[in-house]
Amino acid sequence: KFMQCQFVKAYDDEMADDEDSATVLGTQRFVTFRLCPDCDSCSSEYGEYIVDLQNYLESMIDYYQEEQENYCKACEECAGMDADADAGDADADAGGRRLDLDCQTCYPTCQNIENMEENGYLDASEFIECQQMGDANDDGSAYYTGPMCSNGGTKIKIGVFTDDLCTEFAEDGTDVDTLFQAQADAEGDANAVPFRLSYHLLKKVHDSSNCVSCLVEDNDADANDDAEVAEVCEELYEEAAKCEPPYGFDG
């Protein structure tokens, strides 16, 4: 369960070795998360952990991307079954709900995701690694985009930076929308519409009411078999600094 995104300024070896750097302090970003007995009860018997923001995002985005792919695959099958029912297939269930899906609402949602770029949006999860946006200026300076903490640490968004490590915030007011507008203007087409970011996946990562189950459900498993732990939980647990005994967590 996501708790908070935090950042601190600390000594950075790479910045110290960079002769062009004006400071030896770099911005380090972390996420605090908890392992809880259940999603609604996380005030006792929990473990609290802190992990690098980049590692957290990579693991969680992979998890939610796979979940989204499975959802839309099931939705496509669901829509196909409805089509068979409408055509009079006696073996098809025309109830409109398959695999806990509402066929009437899931299909438009998945179509919007599939056609996101055509509709003028880019997935914000594609910008979780620091990357240069646009060409460099004549003096060699450039803008970079990458993840940052926002809203007092309750959210994670894509910010604009002036270094290739995404540690120095752009202090001139430039944001992602400004960069997309500049790209559209550079095309020389008066009708060009700038892209916007879609946070449909990234917002799941920092939604504190949204929990990920660490137990993999296996309906075919024997009752005496050990429960299988979800890969995303194993990855984050291994990478994180841990604080467990004070909160009564026994693993």
| Residue boundaries of the structural domains of the chain | 2-211+224-247
Confidence of residue 192 (pLDDT cuts 50, 70, 90): confident
Q: Are 164 and 132 spatial neighbours (Cβ–Cβ below 8 Å)?
A: yes
Q: Summarize pLDDT for 133-170 with one digit per residue, the tens.
A: 988 888 888 999 999 998 889 999 999 999 888 988 89
pLDDT of 95 above 60: no
Res 93: pLDDT: 44
- Region 75-104: mean pLDDT is 57
Residues 64-103: b if buried by 16+ CB within 10 A, e if exposed: beeebeebbebbeebbebbeebeeeeeeeeeeeebeebeb
| Res 60 pLDDT > 80 | yes
**Mean pLDDT of the 9-18 span:** 76
Looking at 58-62, 206-210, 220-224, 243-247, which range is the least confident one? 220-224
Residue 204 half-sphere exposure, CB side, CA atoms within 13 Å? 17
Give the pLDDT score at 115.
95
Q: Does pLDDT of 227 surpass 70? A: yes
Higher pLDDT, 138 or 250: 138
d(CA 73, CA 69): 6
Q: Which stretch, 133-147, 184-198, 207-221, has highest mean pLDDT? A: 133-147
What confidence category does residue 90 fall into, taking pLDDT thresholds of 50, 70 and 90? Answer: very low
Task: Give pLDDT, residue 94.
Answer: 37
Cα gap 224→21, rounded to integer Å? 59
Q: Indicate the pairing of strand 121-123 with strand 101-102.
A: unpaired
Q: Which two tokens stand for residue 140?
A: 């060699």
In whole angstroms, how far apart are CA 249 and each of 49, 166, 214?
12, 35, 15
CA distances from 59 to 36, 77, 234, 244 (A): 18, 28, 10, 21
Closest among 43, 36, 31 to 1, alpha carbons compared = 36
Residue 80 in this model has a pLDDT that exceeds 50: yes
